[in-house]
Amino acid sequence: MYSKLSNEELIDRIKELEEKVHELEHSLVHDKLTMLKTRGYFEEKSKAHLESTEKIKTERRHEWSGFNDISFLFLDIDHFKNINDTYGHATGDSVLQKVAETLKKDLRVGDIVARWGGEEFVAILLGANEEQAKNKAEQIRGEVEQMTFENPAELKITISIGVAEFEEGKSFEDMVSHADEALYSAKETGRNKTVVYSEIKA
C-alpha cells in the first residue's frame, strides 16, 4: 500500500522530477566533455535556419524568421594526435575544453557551435556574410594561438578554420562539405590559418 504524500512532499517530488528531466534534456543536446552542442542538435537547428533563409530568398516572404546571410565555420585543432601522444589524453581533453570555452565566448548568443567529433568543431553564424565570418574565424584563431597552459607550460596549440557562406539552393550537407573543403585547404597549405571556400572553388 502506497503512503500518501503531503502537499509539500508532492511539490518537492515534482521539482526533483523536473530537475532530472532538465538534466536529461541537457545531456542529450550537449557534448559531455566540452559542453558544446552535439552534432545531431547542430544539424537539426542548422537545417531549420537554412530552410527559413531559403524561403526568404526564393519566395521573398519576409514573415519567415530567417537571415539574409548565414555562414559556416569548420575548425580543427592542428596536430592534436601529437598532443595526446606527447602529453596524454588528460591534457588532450583539457585542450578541447579550453578551445570550446573560447568558441562559446567569442560567438554570439544566437550562433550555434558544436563538437563535430574528435578535435573538430563546427559553428553556424547567423546573419554573417563571408567577410564577417572570416573576421570572426581569424579572431578565434588568434586567441587560440595565444593560449597558455600551466601544465605543461611549454604547450602551444593552433587551429585551422574553413569558412563557407550559404548559397541559395545548397543543402546543409553541401555547406558542411564546403566548409570542410576550405578547412582541408587550410591544413594542406600550412595550418594555423583561415581559408574561405569561395577562394578555392574557382
d(CA 126, CA 80): 29
Kindly name the residue from 19, 25, 119, 168 that is annotated as catalytic.
Answer: 119
Write phi, then psi, for 192 (nearest 5 degrees): 50, 50
Question: Of the candidates 160, 133, 122, which has an alpha carbon nearest to the alpha carbon of residue 40?
Answer: 122
Q: What does the DSSP assignment read for 104-143?
A: HHHS-TTSEEEEEETTEEEEEEET--HHHHHHHHHHHHHH
Rounded CA separation 150/165 (Å): 37
* Distance between CA atoms of residues 108 and 44, nearest Å: 19
Is 119 catalytic? The answer is yes
> Which residue's C-alpha cell is 524561403?
55
Residues belonging to the active site: 119
